[in-house]
């Protein structure tokens, strides 16, 4: 899976840096082209000569080469790589990535990268457990970076716990799995809706809901990283995402979302309706701000278009459609009914009765129901992990067809 892949390995200042030599050997044996970037601190634990010999490329440690006067172009390096691995990743480097504080070549390359980034932390137990480290890791995971969890065992301090750099074989397997998944999704066209819609009352007020868009954006990131060409139609959210395989269309109202979906639907292999579309919109929209002049105000509403139901009627046999159902009672019965009515292939059920699920959370707990009413239930996970679970279901379906 790694033959011919361009892998950039970032090595930072941890006692575990010696494991980078073993990782480079494994990557080379797997057929990868490996370029190593070291921080200054890393040079105190393993020499650049060792990693240069094993990788068959000069190791880069700074923006310029003082001997030749040449410039190590961080933008070109970031665009060159098919994947970046940071192993070991110290608390300092993770903090720099999370905040965008670019004081070395490695961080500048990371900020320029458009490929998947795998981060393998290595630090002492208390550093790993510290809230600032956890916040930085959560931030980077939210950006779509892939964390390879540290191992449990004796640490350099003598403490026992999490913080050991994952073994090189584990890192290699994680990378191979990523590229094996990517081959299945490569060339597939995926359409995803995300976030709320806003239905205006007047120039300053609107009707909406509590959807944050996090689930839809996590799905867009997962499928884009897997190699699919993703079109994300997004309502107003406070989220950002960037990927070479991703095209984002911003909309506000249910009507605008319907128009955008209709434009891209026919050319899509997979459609995921993750947006929380408003069920009703004001019948009349005031052209000027409504004044607070009356003790009461009646608001007349009309139904919005049923986007998922409308598109379900014209779905072709080769297309897969996934819908979402957020329920508060009779969850599975209501989800199964919606699955049939809207001609979905799968429906993702989450319940507001489950702590940590639903709108605004960074986590979700789902059940996935297919047309034959088979149910796969998943535990509470981060929305990134939930997106990966849904991705795996679709990749399996594609591989069988």
CB-based contacts of 153, cutoff 8 Å, min separation 6: 160, 164
Is 279 marked as binding a ligand? yes
**Catalytic residue ranges:** 209
Is 188 marked as binding a ligand? no
CB 122 within 8 A of CB 90: yes
In angstroms, rounded to a whole number, what is the distance separating the alpha carbons of residues 85 and 175? 9
Q: What share of the chain is helix, strand, coil (3-state, %, to 5)?
A: 35, 25, 40
Is 29 marked as binding a ligand? no
Q: How are strands ordered across the β-sheet holding 229-234?
A: 246-250, 229-234, 189-194, 270-273, 320-327, 346-351, 367-370, 375-377
The residues with which 276 forms a beta bridge, in sequence order, are 196
Phi, psi of 287 (to 5 degrees): -80, -20
Q: For the beta carbon of residue 38, count every other beta carbon within 10 angstroms.
A: 27
> What CATH number labels 6-182?
3.40.50.1950
In angstroms, rounded to a whole number, what is the distance separating the alpha carbons of residues 396 and 54? 37
In angstroms, rounded to a whole number, what is the distance separating the alpha carbons of residues 110 and 146? 13
At residue 243, the pLDDT reads 67
At residue 25, the pLDDT reads 96
Where in the chain are all domains bearing CATH 3.40.50.10300?
Answer: 186-400
Per-residue pLDDT of the chain (401 residues; tens, 9 = 90+): 788 999 999 999 999 999 999 999 999 999 999 999 999 999 999 999 999 999 999 999 988 776 666 778 888 998 899 999 999 999 999 999 999 998 899 999 999 998 989 999 999 888 898 999 999 998 998 888 889 988 888 777 787 888 889 999 999 988 887 887 667 888 899 999 999 999 999 999 999 998 999 999 999 988 987 889 999 999 999 988 766 678 999 999 999 999 999 999 999 999 999 999 999 999 999 999 988 887 888 899 999 999 999 999 999 999 999 999 988 788 999 999 999 999 999 999 987 777 666 666 778 899 999 999 999 999 999 888 899 999 999 999 998 87
Phi, psi of 327 (to 5 degrees): -120, 160
At residue 163, the pLDDT reads 82
Where in the chain are all domains bearing CATH 3.40.50.1950?
Answer: 6-182
DSSP assignment, residue 66? Answer: T
Which CATH fold topology does 186-400 show?
Answer: Rossmann fold (3.40.50)
């Amino acid at each position: 899976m790694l033959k011919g892949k361009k892998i950039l390995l970032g090595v930072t200042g941890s006692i575990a840096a010696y494991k980078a030599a073993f990782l480079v050997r494994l990557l080379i044996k797997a057929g990868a082209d490996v370029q190593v970037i070291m921080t200054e601190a890393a040079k105190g634990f393993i020499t650049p000569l060792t990693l240069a010999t094993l990788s068959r490329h000069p190791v880069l440690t700074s923006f310029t080469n003082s001997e030749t006067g040449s410039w190590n172009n961080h933008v070109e390096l970031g665009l060159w790589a098919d994947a970046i691995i940071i192993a070991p990743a110290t608390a300092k480097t993770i903090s720099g990535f999370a905040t965008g504080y670019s004081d070395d070549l490695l961080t500048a390359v990371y900020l320029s990268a458009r490929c998947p980034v795998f981060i393998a932390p290595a630090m002492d137990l208390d550093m790993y457990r510290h809230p600032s480290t956890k916040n930085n890791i959560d931030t980077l995971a939210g950006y779509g970076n892939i964390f390879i969890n540290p191992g449990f065992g004796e640490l350099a301090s003598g403490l026992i716990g999490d913080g050991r750099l994952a073994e090189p074989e584990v890192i290699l397997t994680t990378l191979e799995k990523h590229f094996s998944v990517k081959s299945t999704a490569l060339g597939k066209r995926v359409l995803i809706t995300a976030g709320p819609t806003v239905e205006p009352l007047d120039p300053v007020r609107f009707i909406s809901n509590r959807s944050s868009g996090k689930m839809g954006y996590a799905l867009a990131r997962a499928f884009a990283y897997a190699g699919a060409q993703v079109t994300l139609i997004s309502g107003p959210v406070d989220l950002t995402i960037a990927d070479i395989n991703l095209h984002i269309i911003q909309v506000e109202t249910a009507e605008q979302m319907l128009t955008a979906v209709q434009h891209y639907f026919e050319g899509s292999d997979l459609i995921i309706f993750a947006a929380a579309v408003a069920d009703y919109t004001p019948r009349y929209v005031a052209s000027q701000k409504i004044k607070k002049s009356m003790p009461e105000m009646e608001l007349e509403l009309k139904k919005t278009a049923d986007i998922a139901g409308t598109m379900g009627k014209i779905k072709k046999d080769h297309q897969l459609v996934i819908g979402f159902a957020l329920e508060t009672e009779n969850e599975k019965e209501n989800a199964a009914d919606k699955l049939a009515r809207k001609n979905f292939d799968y429906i993702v059920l989450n319940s507001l009765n489950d702590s940590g699920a639903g709108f605004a959370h960074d986590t979700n707990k789902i059940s996935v129901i297919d047309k034959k009413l088979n149910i796969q239930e998943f535990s509470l996970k981060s929305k990134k992990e939930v997106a990966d679970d849904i991705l795996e279901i679709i990749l399996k379906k594609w591989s069988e067809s």
